């Protein structure tokens, strides 16, 4: 409460909700600024003169109140919201929405930031939107307008970013119109090579601490669906910088994702918007390696570099995908060269199954830039062959001088000799479930694609009406292995042959490349076609097929009932589009 002293003026009011919080608040605060309380009444708050209701419960000797200090209580009958410019909120029910409901949209909503131990504004009235220079912005972003009328006026960032510390990104949002759906905000830190080092996903909401209820885990929220058009809403994003993050420059990017569809919205023609660049500094003293959370300890020394652990963040890596491997390094001596780290997967007989190579940390921070005491991480993506068997495999690592091609011998802390390849642990590859029994299906089909895949049939689901969605589930049976990765297309055309809706992608929601399909396997493959809102009613035609995206888009030939289908696209049963009135 001491943070309030000297900040309040005649145009300010203290709003306490729930009103019973006035007792602990008044115990510490001795000022003379107006105050009023709020009490729950159903889903709304009603104003109460908090001093009157609890006067008989206050024992001055116990609370050590000064009877000469005027109780700053406004009787509800004398309350005039137009008298106030700023509202200082106390209590988890004193949310921005309740303040706007009771005081209107022309006030600044103040809130106590527990992390910074200071009062700050979380909502500004419309005049600040017209003149963003009045806001505490570090950078203005006047051109950033997303679909749906959402705008970012600017942002500020912690002045100095340091490895292992938490930084704060503060965004100043406004909406031109009421937002009918929730939004999700994604924030990333990316280095110059394109590698993502930090990623946060959180709802578009202003999350507030409810004094003094924060000690009991009670928070106040202000979701985007409650933001009045024209006001400025402040959103904080905490960025926890890893203790082994490379001390280099990064770009901060943001993405706004639509809640119902999960699709990113565009701003200025882009879905990933770069806000700016930041530099991250080394800590004044090197961290000890125990501050870095590591799932698997390794402790292998390569000259002056020590691999003290690794992580396998993917719980169930599958054939045809990648196995991400995070390596954690400690620098005991300054490296004299730039190195490359090479990783292999070995089967139980020691045979190399797959391998990959990468910079030990990032190409933007080669080992020649490392210093003694640094803790650094790097990620290697190991390709898993499409037809690799599931099971456990050995992980082997070596370090190679990029100039000479010579290996740096690796030796475990307890080892008696060095090795070119150091086995650091095991990784498990999870096989795809093998389904060979055909499921029931609404439409049976007899067609073969490229002599390798047979279409058994399909199901249609969804709402075949303007603005609706049409779901198509295809049931494939694999008759021969495919060496190339094909995409499936699903096209919907009108009677004139014009394309009105489509869906393309790697089968099974981009998870089952055709190179991973096994002979005899049955694949259930679903696609969703969003239908335009202006589609006229009538008959429409569905077509499906395969095409090779890496070779100019040639389609696999289709044979149905002994005859080749033209243009490599198989027609399915016509779809009747209903009008919205017919749907009702």
Kindly state whether residue 342 falls inside one of the protein's structural domains. Answer: yes
Same domain as 578, residue 450? yes
Residues 6-25: tens digit of each pLDDT: 788 889 988 888 877 776 77
Domain with 563 in it: what CATH number? 2.60.40.2550
Q: Is the peptide bond before 395 cis (omega within 30 degrees of 0)?
A: no
Say if CB 238 and CB 117 are below 8 A apart. Answer: no
Where does a domain end: 429, 457, 487?
Answer: 429
Output the average pLDDT for the chain: 88
Same domain as 495, residue 559? yes
Residues contacting residue 140 through CB under 8 Å, at least 6 positions apart: 132, 133, 153, 154
Same domain as 389, residue 323? yes
Kindly state whether residue 262 falls inside one of the protein's structural domains. Answer: no
Note the maximum CA span of the chain. Answer: 101
321-337 average pLDDT score:
95
Where does a domain end: 429, 463, 484?
Answer: 429
Same domain as 558, residue 478? yes
Predicted confidence band of residue 71 (pLDDT cuts 50, 70, 90)? very low
Kindly state whether residue 373 falls inside one of the protein's structural domains. Answer: yes
Question: Does the structure show a pLDDT above 90 at 180?
Answer: no
Same domain as 466, residue 539? yes
Say if CB 90 and CB 14 are below 8 A apart. Answer: yes
Where does a domain end: 398, 429, 460?
Answer: 429
Predicted confidence band of residue 402 (pLDDT cuts 50, 70, 90)? very high
Predicted confidence band of residue 55 (pLDDT cuts 50, 70, 90)? very low
Side-chain-facing half-sphere of 428: CA atoms under 13 Å: 6
Strands (DSSP E) contained in 388-452 are 391-401, 407-408, 410-412, 422-429, 443-449
Residues contacting residue 557 through CB under 8 Å, at least 6 positions apart: 449, 450, 451, 564, 568
Say if CB 559 and CB 518 are below 8 A apart. Answer: no
Domain that holds residue 447: 443-583
Question: Does the structure show a pLDDT above 80 at 257?
Answer: yes
Task: Record the tokens describing residue 172, joined without a space.
Answer: 């100043």
Same domain as 487, residue 420? no
Predicted confidence band of residue 63 (pLDDT cuts 50, 70, 90)? very low
Maximum average pLDDT range among 16-20, 93-97, 487-491: 487-491
Kindly state whether residue 416 falls inside one of the protein's structural domains. Answer: yes
Kindly state whether residue 117 falls inside one of the protein's structural domains. Answer: no
Kindly state whether residue 243 falls inside one of the protein's structural domains. Answer: no
Kindly state whether residue 99 falls inside one of the protein's structural domains. Answer: no
Same domain as 451, residue 535? yes
CA distances from residue 583 to 131, 134, 472 in whole angstroms, order as listed: 48, 51, 20
Same domain as 316, residue 415? yes
Rounded Cα distance between 500 and 487, Å, is: 19
Same domain as 451, residue 579? yes
Say if CB 111 and CB 122 are below 8 A apart. Answer: yes
Domain with 394 in it: what CATH number? 2.70.50.60
Residue 462: name the closest of 453, 471, 474, 475 by CA.
471
Residues 234-245: tens digit of each pLDDT: 999 999 999 999
Question: Does the structure show a pLDDT above 70 at 415?
Answer: no
% of the chain surpassing 70 pLDDT: 90
Same domain as 368, residue 459? no
Specify whether the backbone of 106 is left (phi greater than 0), alpha (psi in -120 to 50) or beta: alpha
Same domain as 493, residue 420? no
Give the DSSP per-residue string, 77-107: GG--GGG-SEEEEESTT--HHHHHHHH-SSS
Kindly state whether residue 200 falls inside one of the protein's structural domains. Answer: no
Same domain as 421, residue 340? yes
Residue 442: name the closest of 479, 463, 472 by CA.
472
The kind and range of the H/E element at 411 are strand 410-412
Q: How many domains does the chain have?
A: 2
Predicted confidence band of residue 269 (pLDDT cuts 50, 70, 90)? confident
């Amino acid at each position: 409460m001491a943070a309030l002293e000297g900040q309040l003026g005649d145009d300010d009011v203290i709003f306490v909700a729930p009103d019973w919080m006035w007792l602990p608040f008044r115990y510490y605060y001795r000022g003379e600024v107006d105050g009023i309380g709020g009490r729950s009444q159903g889903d709304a708050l009603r104003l109460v003169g908090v001093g009157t209701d609890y006067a008989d419960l206050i024992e001055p000797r116990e609370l050590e109140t000064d009877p000469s200090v005027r109780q700053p209580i406004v009787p509800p009958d004398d309350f005039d919201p137009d008298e106030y410019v700023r509202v200082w909120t106390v209590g988890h029910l004193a949310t921005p929405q309740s303040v706007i409901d009771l005081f209107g949209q022309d006030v600044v909503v103040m809130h106590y930031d527990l992390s910074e131990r200071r009062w700050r504004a979380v909502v500004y009235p419309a005049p600040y939107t017209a003149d963003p220079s009045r806001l505490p912005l570090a950078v203005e972003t006047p051109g950033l307008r997303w679909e749906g009328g959402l705008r970012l006026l600017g942002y500020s960032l912690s002045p100095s970013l340091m490895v292992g510390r938490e930084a704060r990104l503060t965004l100043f949002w406004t909406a031109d119109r009421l937002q009918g759906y929730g939004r999700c905000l994604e924030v990333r830190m990316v280095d110059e090579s394109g590698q993502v080092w930090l990623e946060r996903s959180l709802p578009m909401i202003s999350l507030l601490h409810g004094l003094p209820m924060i000690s009991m885990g009670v928070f106040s929220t202000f979701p985007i669906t409650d933001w009045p058009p024209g006001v400025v809403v402040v959103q904080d994003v905490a960025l926890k910088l890893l203790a082994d993050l490379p001390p280099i420059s990064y770009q901060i990017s943001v993405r706004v994702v639509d809640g119902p569809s999960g699709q990113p919205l565009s701003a200025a023609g882009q879905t990933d918007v770069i806000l700016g660049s930041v530099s991250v500094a080394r800590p004044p003293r090197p961290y000890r390696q125990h501050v870095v959370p590591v799932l698997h300890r390794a402790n292998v020394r390569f000259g002056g570099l020590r691999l003290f652990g690794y992580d396998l963040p993917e719980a169930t890596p599958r054939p045809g995908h990648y196995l991400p491997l995070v390596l954690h390094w400690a620098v005991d001596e300054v490296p004299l060269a730039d190195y490359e780290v090479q990783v292999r997967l070995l089967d139980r007989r020691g045979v190399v199954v797959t391998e990959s190579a990468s910079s030990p940390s990032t190409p933007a921070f080669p080992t020649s830039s490392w210093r003694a005491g640094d803790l650094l991480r790097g990620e290697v993506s190991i390709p898993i062959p499409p037809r690799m068997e599931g099971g456990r495999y050995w992980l082997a690592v070596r370090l190679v001088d990029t100039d000479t091609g010579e290996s740096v011998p690796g030796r475990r802390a307890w080892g008696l000799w060095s090795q070119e390849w150091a086995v650091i642990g095991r990784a498990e590859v999870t096989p795809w479930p093998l389904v060979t029994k055909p499921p029931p299906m609404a439409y049976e089909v007899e067609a073969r694609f490229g002599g390798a895949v047979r279409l058994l049939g399909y199901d249609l689901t969804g709402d075949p009406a303007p603005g609706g969605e049409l779901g198509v589930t295809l049931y494939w049976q694999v008759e021969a292995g495919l060496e190339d990765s094909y995409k499936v297309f699903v096209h919907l055309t009108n009677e004139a042959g014009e394309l009105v809706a489509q869906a393309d992608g790697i089968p099974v929601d981009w998870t089952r490349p055709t190179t991973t399909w096994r002979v005899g396997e049955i694949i259930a493959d679903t696609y969703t076609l969003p239908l335009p809102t202006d589609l006229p009613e009538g008959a429409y035609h569905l077509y499906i097929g395969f095409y090779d995206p890496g070779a100019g888009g040639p389609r696999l030939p289709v044979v149905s009932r002994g005859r080749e289908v033209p243009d490599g696209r198989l027609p399915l049963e016509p779809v009747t589009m209903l009008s919205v009135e017919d749907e009702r």
